[in-house]
Structure 1
Amino acid sequence: MGEDTPLGEDPGRRWSIGELAQATGVTVRALHHYDEIGLLRAGERTASGHRRYTAADLRRLYRVRTLRSLGMPLEEIKRMLGAPEDLAGTRALLAAQLEQLTAQAERLQQLVRQVGGLLRQLDTGALPDPDQFMTTLEMISMLDSYFTDEQREELARRRDALGPDAVEEARSRFAGLVEQLLGHVRDDTPVDDPGVQDLLRRWEELGSAFHAEGAGGERTKAAARRMWQDQGAGLSRNLPWPAESMVALTAYLERARAARPGD
């Protein structure tokens, strides 16, 4: 199928659900949900019943993701996408996306100015523990880049609802899963190994406790994965494992997701 061909370049190309999820950052679970509600169905099926997505499906997925990023509910997106695809509609969609990205860039520039001001204050010795403080600021910057205000508020509500004891227990379970998974990374265990797939299931069940149910929770999970994929080295600085190990683990988990059986 031309593995070196960039996604979307060949109009005759087809993608399995795992390939589409890995290439676009949309989870397999979300793609299943889109199929169930009639928002995005694979244009073709193999003789054995496996989904195969076409170039038209890819363009539709792009429109879905863009409209979701603009805050539109799935039902409204489904209604909107019921109209025939045309150049004017696509241009309007891209213009709206560009406007949103421009606003995000302006917020990031404002954050840069704020951090610069704090750095100047640190130079006077007015604030204690500058290393820890700057790490916190970097985390805030990352969150601002990957999560909407609504998503950050929902994550905070879920954490508060769990309570400190449950959060501490989750940390302990997380550490155990990391150790086991890093062992598989070091051993180069195939990602479709049943043991690896079971660890992935437990990993995602643990993470799900911190996210809302339904499509909203799937969006925050996807945002968190994108953040780890892009900023894993920086996020790992305060963890007891080497940053390069956590970056490798993030990539390993993504391959394991794409290798789930039955897709």
Structure 2
Amino acid sequence: MVETGGQLWSIGELATLCGVTVRTLHHYDQIGLFRATGRTDSGHRRYSEDDVCHLYRIRALRALGLSLEHVRQILASSPSDVGAVRQLLAAQLSALHQQAEQAQRLQHQIQALLDNMGSTTPGADHFITILEGMTMYEKYFTEEQRTELAQRRAELGPVAINDAKAAFESLVEEGLGYLSTNTPVDDPAVRDFASRWDELGSQFHSNDATKTAARSMWQDNSRELSARLPWPEDRIQELVTYLQRVRDTG
């Protein structure tokens, strides 16, 4: 019988919402890492909000580079209370701060959870949002590339990263200005702007493969990503297209 009270998800629904496969959830069940707290009368798994939180902890620890066995040990020794979740959120936030600027959306989400976290664990919807973001980065960047990005950001340090964020905002405003005045893409000022834009990105993407992965992620998810920026979504997409036209001119 399924416990009453609170939202419940089937295994298929949970897999879809959290960006994992049903096969993965079955595997986690088989090794005793993650099991549904309830079942229907016919034996079908039903996952609760507590289960979503538990899945978040597993995925977050895996994203930090831990093996399944290490994850199992940590979860076994660390109760699923507010303090444990808070520590894990802080650890994941620290790691994300060392990744590329594309991780900025996820950083803000986790920081908001930490800032607003009182005496109770955040709801399942918060963790689902974070899991969706984690899935996106894992899809486009290999584990080696994610490690490289993390190391690069660690080398830069928080001051340089904040300076880069300020420079990015300034470049966006500058680029939107060129768009507003329909400045030709071969204008020397625009070419200089595009060069500075790419130089800024190169601080985080040290090789062509990582840069290509970042651009692929943007191209495939441009609407979703640009919608999270503090500028009109359509203008950001126009700016990215404009930049590519500048690069194509050589």
Using the size of structure 2 for normalisation, the TM-score is 0.51
1:109 aligns with 2:99: no
Shift of 1:122: 7.6
d(CA) in 2 for partners of 1:151, 1:241: 29
d(CA) in 1 for partners of 2:22, 2:180: 42
Query: Which residue of structure 1 lines up, in the alignment, with residue 188 of structure 2?
Result: 194
Residue 247 of structure 2 aligns to a residue whose secondary structure is helix
Gaps of 5+ in 2: 1-18, 29-35, 37-46, 54-119
Change in Cα spacing, 1:191 to 1:146, as seen in structure 2 (3 Å) is same
d(CA) in 1 for partners of 2:195, 2:248: 13
Choose the corresponding residue for 2:198, options 195, 204, 214: 204
Alignment of 1:77-226 (within 5 A): 109=21, 121=49, 127-128=121-122, 133-212=127-206, 217-226=207-216
Residue 238 of structure 1 aligns to a residue whose secondary structure is coil
1:249 aligns with 2:239: yes
Structure 1 stretch 244-253 or stretch 154-163: which is displaced more?
Answer: 244-253
Shift of 1:238: 3.0
Shift of 1:138: 2.6
Contact kept? 1:200, 1:253, Cα under 8 Å: yes
Aligned AA (1:177)? L
Aligned AA (2:170)? G
Query: Number of paired residues?
Result: 147
Contact kept? 2:49, 2:123, Cα under 8 Å: no
1:184-222 per-residue CA deviation (whole Å, 9 max, x = no partner) reads 22333222221111011001111111122xxxx111111
Residue 189 of structure 1 aligns to a residue whose secondary structure is coil
Contact kept? 1:228, 1:250, Cα under 8 Å: no
1:239 aligns with 2:239: no
Aligned AA (1:207)? G
Higher relative contact order (CA 8 A, sep 6+): 1
d(CA) in 2 for partners of 1:122, 1:186: 49
What's the % identity of the aligned pairs? 45
Alignment of 1:16-27 (within 5 A): none
d(CA) in 2 for partners of 1:248, 1:112: 39
Change in Cα spacing, 1:150 to 1:123, as seen in structure 2 (3 Å) is closer
Contact kept? 2:175, 2:193, Cα under 8 Å: yes
Change in Cα spacing, 1:244 to 1:165, as seen in structure 2 (3 Å) is same
d(CA) in 1 for partners of 2:237, 2:165: 19
Change in Cα spacing, 1:173 to 1:112, as seen in structure 2 (3 Å) is farther
Aligned AA (1:250)? V
d(CA) in 2 for partners of 1:236, 1:242: 8
Aligned AA (2:226)? S
Residue 239 of structure 1 aligns to a residue whose secondary structure is coil
Contact kept? 2:49, 2:124, Cα under 8 Å: no
1:228 aligns with 2:212: no
d(CA) in 2 for partners of 1:244, 1:112: 37
d(CA) in 2 for partners of 1:233, 1:190: 25
Aligned CA RMSD, in angstroms, stands at: 3.1
Change in Cα spacing, 1:142 to 1:188, as seen in structure 2 (3 Å) is farther
Gaps of 5+ in 1: 1-106
